[in-house]
């Protein structure tokens, strides 16, 4: 049986009070509508039609050619929105999931259960429902004696008995596709709002003698629709909890899940430990047996097995196995660390390759450089890679030693085993095995400090006299 999906993403989202279109607001690093799309793809939907309206171009830029689009030029209700997908899938045989693009917590498992019940009961439509402790504001599900849905009653129309019902309509449905679009053709807008409601399809199908079923979501949180920043924050919290549980189930230790922020696209190996204040973003991949944090912030970064990162930031960086980074290091895009590299405190690396076993222990900047293996770069060393117009490259060989407070003025090459004396400013290549000493000769002028102090005192006294004279 062909599986299809219609994702409703045409609403403006005024309550978000944002320049960003509502369904593009991120939850754990991914736009809400992408979470929904992942869920329908996870159940094998062969076709997905995204109904767009306000912000259509932005949604299309985000989702690209991976889906089909239907344009709802006027927002005339949910039934009208689904009807816009008719040219694409209206005459296709199969089942269609209809889901809102602002429900990022809906899961593939829940949608699979929805379809399974729909097929088992031979229903024309099956509603995804949830049981809430506080159902006020939601449409209630009134079931018949056989368990089928008798009707959906909106809050304002509930009797006291109906208001006490805890099972609510989440706004997600599974339909027999042909019956869905046949019924939509009969939906009218004869109501106070003048809109075409998808819920009217339920009544039309019932009047035709069709069965309407309901599948209760195991987790009521999946029913959350994000319409404002408060709901967005709640969805973010619940998604973070879900992501953290998944990683912990897979063998990752998260010391404080509430204080650790892991986005949806992150991969983490077993026996890695995450400490509080850690942010793992984008497509970051962490290996096994790592220690990350506290207060590490990694974006689109790959980390090899057994590496430790403390109080540091990395973006689009590649770290080998057994590295030690931090505290307070900054690995900028293009950083590539081989195995067992040490990057210490207040070190910045940018677009540079550091060879196996090399060390940049503290207070240094290495940019646009290639550093060999077994090399030590002393405190306060910089590669002067930018002349105000162009970036130039510094090459340091294997087993070299760069003394503290050295300036390497690109373009220069320091050969294998070379030694740069502390305080040097190197402007020419240093051959392998050589020692480079590039600093001015020290001159001591005995007794001159007392003369300087006396001169300064005399100037101060003269200034005070002039001020008194005024």
Active site residues: 362
Structure tokens at 256: 């404080």
SS (H, E, C) the chain: CCEEEEEEECCCCHHHCCCCCHHHCEECCEEHHHHHHHHHHCCCCCEEEEEEECEHHHHHHHHHHHCEEEECCCCCCHHHHHHCCHHHHCCCCCEEEEEECCCCCCCHHHHHHHHHHHHHCCCCEEEEEEECCCCCCCCEEEECCCCCEEEEECHHHCCHHHHCCCEEEEEEEEEEHHHHHHHHCCCCCCCCCCCCCCHHHHHHHHHCCCCEEEEECCCHHHHCCCCCHHHHHHHHHHHHHHHHHHHHHCCCEECCHHHCEECCCCEECCCCEECCCCEEECCCEECCCCEECCCCEEECCEECCCCEECCCEEECCEECCCCEECCCCEECCCCEECCCCEEEECCEEEEEEECCCCEEEECCEEEEEEECCCCEECCCCEEECECCCCECCEEECCCCEECCCCEEECCEEECCCCEECCCCEECCCECCCCEECCCCCCCCCCCHHHHHHHHHHHHHHHHHHHHHHC
Can you say whether the dihedral through the CA atoms of 440, 445, 450, 451 is positive or negative? Answer: negative
- Helix 32-41 and helix 108-120, axial crossing angle in degrees, nearest 10: 50
Pairwise CA distance, residues 140 & 163, whole Å? 7
Question: What length does the chain have?
Answer: 470
Pairwise CA distance, residues 149 & 147, whole Å? 7
The answer to whether 274 and 293 are in contact (CB under 8 A) is yes
In which residue are the tokens 């990162």 written? Answer: 309
Pairwise CA distance, residues 33 & 438, whole Å? 60
């Amino acid at each position: 049986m062909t599986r299809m999906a219609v994702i409703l993403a045409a609403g403006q989202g005024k309550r978000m009070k944002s320049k960003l279109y509502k369904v593009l607001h991120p939850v754990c690093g991914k736009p809400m509508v992408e979470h929904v799309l992942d869920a329908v793809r996870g159940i094998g939907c062969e076709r997905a039609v995204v109904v767009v309206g306000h912000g259509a171009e932005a949604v299309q830029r985000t989702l690209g050619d991976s889906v089909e689009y239907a344009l709802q030029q006027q927002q005339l209700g949910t039934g009208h929105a689904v009807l816009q997908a008719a040219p694409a899938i209206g005459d296709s045989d199969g089942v269609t999931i209809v889901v809102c693009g602002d429900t990022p917590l809906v899961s593939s498992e829940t949608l699979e259960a929805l379809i399974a019940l729909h097929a088992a009961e031979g229903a024309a439509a099956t509603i995804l429902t949830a049981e809430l402790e506080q159902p006020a504001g939601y449409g209630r599900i009134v079931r018949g004696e056989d368990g089928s849905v008798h009707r959906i009653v909106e809050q304002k129309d509930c009797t006291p008995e109906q208001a006490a019902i805890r099972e609510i309509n989440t706004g997600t449905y599974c339909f027999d596709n042909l019956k869905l679009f046949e019924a939509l053709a009969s939906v009218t807008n004869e109501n106070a709002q003048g809109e075409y409601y998808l819920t009217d399809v339920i009544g039309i199908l019932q009047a035709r003698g069709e069965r309407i079923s309901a599948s209760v979501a195991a987790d009521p949180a999946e029913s959350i629709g994000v319409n404002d920043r408060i709901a967005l924050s709640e969805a973010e919290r619940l998604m973070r909890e879900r992501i953290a549980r998944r990683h912990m189930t897979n063998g990752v230790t998260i010391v404080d899940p509430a204080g650790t922020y892991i986005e949806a696209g992150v991969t983490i190996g077993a026996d890695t430990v995450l400490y509080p204040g850690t942010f793992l973003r984008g497509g970051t991949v962490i290996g096994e047996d790592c220690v990350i944090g506290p207060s590490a912030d990694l974006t689109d970064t790959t980390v090899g097995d057994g590496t430790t990162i403390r109080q540091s930031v990395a973006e689009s960086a590649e770290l080998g196995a057994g590295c030690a980074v931090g505290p307070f290091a900054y690995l900028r895009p293009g950083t590539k660390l081989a195995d067992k590299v040490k990057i210490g405190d207040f070190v910045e690396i940018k677009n540079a390759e550091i060879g196996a076993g090399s060390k940049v222990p503290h207070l240094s900047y290495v940019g646009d450089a290639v550093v060999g293996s077994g090399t030590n770069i002393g405190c306060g060393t910089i590669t002067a890679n930018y002349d105000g117009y162009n970036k130039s490259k510094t090459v340091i060989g294997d087993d070299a030693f760069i003394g503290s407070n050295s300036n390497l003025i690109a373009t220069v090459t320091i050969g294998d085993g070379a030694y740069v004396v502390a305080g040097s400013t190197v402007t020419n290549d240093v051959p392998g095995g050589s020692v480079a000493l590039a600093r001015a000769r020290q001159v001591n002028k005995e007794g001159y400090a007392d003369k300087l102090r006396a001169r300064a005192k005399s100037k101060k006294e003269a200034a005070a006299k002039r001020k008194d004279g005024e």
